[in-house]
Amino acid sequence: MDIHILDDKNVDVSVVIPVFNKSSYTKSVVESLMLDTDKPFRFELIIVNDCSTDDTIFYLESLKNANDIAIIHNQQNYGFAKSVNIGVNTASGRYICLLNNDILLPNKNWLLELYGFIDSHKNVGCVGNVQYNSDGELDHAGVSVDKFGHVNHIKNIECSDKSEFKEIFAVTGACMVFARSIFELVGGFDEEYMNGGEDIDFCLKTATRGFVNYIVFSSEIIHLGSITRGVNNRRDDLNSYRLYSKWNNLLQAELSHNILQWISSGHNLLFDNSVVDDGVVVLLNDDLCTVVAYNLIQRHFERWNRELFGIKNALSIGEISQIIINKNKYTIYMEYIPYIKNIYAVGSVLKNISGVSLEIEIKGVMTKRFELQDKCFNIGIIAPFLMPGI
């Protein structure tokens, strides 16, 4: 391991770049960083080579005598999370800027804006920026939970005021800034992830300690995306399963909050995502958002259990906790709403009376009333919106 850092350790920002192959991208981002020498803060650059198999090692060797650059060669391919931990643990800066090598830096103030924000605000967790793709289109501005229950990029933010910043659920590790002290407080990146999910996990660890994540709109970069590690569906599913298993409550709360915002703004979310049986009345209340969020996320667990672990019946059908019998009314309480396709009620009217009706209510969020014409009945709600996509 060959390391060169500032002798006096008086560093404001340590830029940490884990790399695996793609030496031309590494060269491009390093040259962009070192070209902009007019910064009102001191910074160092730490490059962690995760056992690249191309000519990366030769390029990095050419930098070993450069000022303010540290080169670290891993002894084996550890992956992104451990490479980040190695780089940060070597760093001297008060703040860490984690950066991918597949980044273009057309705006030379991108780091100054991030540093200026985190250095002048209290209680900051992770800070990210606005990222564009190579076509100049918005790639993302932070991360949230989308209407399908996926942790996904936010792609619809409009910001005319370049001084704006926004609290955000999480930011991506392609470019994020955080205090070294927070990194040490939460124990760094979780090395059980393999090239995916560890950046979101880190943001959520800071959030549970009371810190707030932000997007700073005045900082802009270009992110080419998935250049280094590539795409691997099974690996991504395993990472997602770990993320959702660790942070189910936070993810469900974020999705529930988002659903409330979408409904309040007139978004046709509930009916766009599924088929709702005729005559169902949707009850718009807080329980609605909670139950829909729960079921959307359970859908992912059902698929992961089936595809990753071969568990075909991973979810219970639900358990009845009590039945209350009042005059002409039977109330059945269930512990939770199961993830099922259809809901049926089968039975018979015991007395020959007319005008009998039956009302099915699901967890206080949707209801349907049936007029029973015959003594025996078999009625139901087809494809409830709470369980779309099945």
Taking only the tens place, the pLDDT of each residue in 179-189 is 999 999 999 99
CA atoms of 380 and 367, how far apart (whole Å) = 11
CA atoms of 235 and 233, how far apart (whole Å) = 5
Domain assignment present for 157: yes
Burial 29-42 (b: 16+ CB within 10 A, else e): bbebbeeeeeeeeb
Same domain, 282 and 381: yes
Q: Which amino acid is at 30?
A: V
| Domain final position from 230, 258, 288 | 230
pLDDT of res. 161: 56
Count CB-CB contacts under 10 A for residue 386.
Answer: 25
Q: How many domains does the chain have?
A: 2
Range of the domain at 353: 247-390
Same domain, 286 and 223: no
Q: Which amino acid is at 4?
A: H
pLDDT of res. 389: 40
Same domain, 251 and 334: yes
Q: Are 370 and 358 in contact (CB under 8 A)?
A: yes
Intra-chain end-to-end CA distance of the chain, in Å? 52
User: pLDDT (tens digit, 9 = 90+) per residue, 66-116?
Assistant: 888 999 999 999 999 999 999 999 999 999 999 999 999 988 899 999 999
Distances (CA, A) of 301 to 160, 308, 342: 39, 10, 19
Domain assignment present for 7: no
CA atoms of 229 and 208, how far apart (whole Å) = 29
Domain assignment present for 58: yes
Name residue, tokens 């910074």.
43
Q: Are 68 and 6 in contact (CB under 8 A)?
A: yes
Residue 324 token pair? 């209350």
Same domain, 33 and 153: yes
Domain assignment present for 242: no
Domain assignment present for 27: yes
CA atoms of 345 and 161, how far apart (whole Å) = 55
Name residue, tokens 């959520």.
204
Q: Are 215 and 165 in contact (CB under 8 A)?
A: yes
Domain assignment present for 8: no
Distances (CA, A) of 357 to 215, 228, 328, 379: 53, 62, 10, 11
Q: Are 256 and 264 in contact (CB under 8 A)?
A: no
CA atoms of 76 and 51, how far apart (whole Å) = 6
CA atoms of 323 and 334, how far apart (whole Å) = 9
Q: Which amino acid is at 251?
A: L
Domain assignment present for 222: yes
pLDDT of res. 284: 63
pLDDT of res. 203: 98
188, β-bridge pairs: none
Same domain, 197 and 334: no
Domain assignment present for 321: yes
Same domain, 331 and 385: yes
Which residues, in sequence order, are CB contacts of 164 under 8 Å at separation 6+? Answer: 217, 218
Q: At what angle do helices 198-208 and 233-246 cross, to 10 degrees?
A: 10
Nearest alpha carbon to residue 124 among 178, 51, 57, 58: 178
Nearest alpha carbon to residue 251 among 143, 336, 341: 143
Same domain, 40 and 160: yes
CA atoms of 56 and 72, how far apart (whole Å) = 12
97, β-bridge pairs: 15, 177
CA atoms of 190 and 364, how far apart (whole Å) = 39
CA atoms of 232 and 229, how far apart (whole Å) = 9
Same domain, 149 and 54: yes
The residue length of the chain stands at: 390
Same domain, 215 and 251: no
Question: The domain that contains 191 carries what CATH number?
Answer: 3.90.550.10
CA atoms of 269 and 262, how far apart (whole Å) = 7
Same domain, 251 and 165: no
Q: Are 83 and 18 in contact (CB under 8 A)?
A: yes
Residues of the chain with pLDDT under 70: 1-9, 36-38, 158-163, 226-232, 266-286, 312-342, 352-353, 362-366, 382-390
pLDDT of res. 36: 67
CA atoms of 334 and 105, how far apart (whole Å) = 55
Same domain, 213 and 114: yes
CA atoms of 389 and 114, how far apart (whole Å) = 40
Same domain, 306 and 161: no
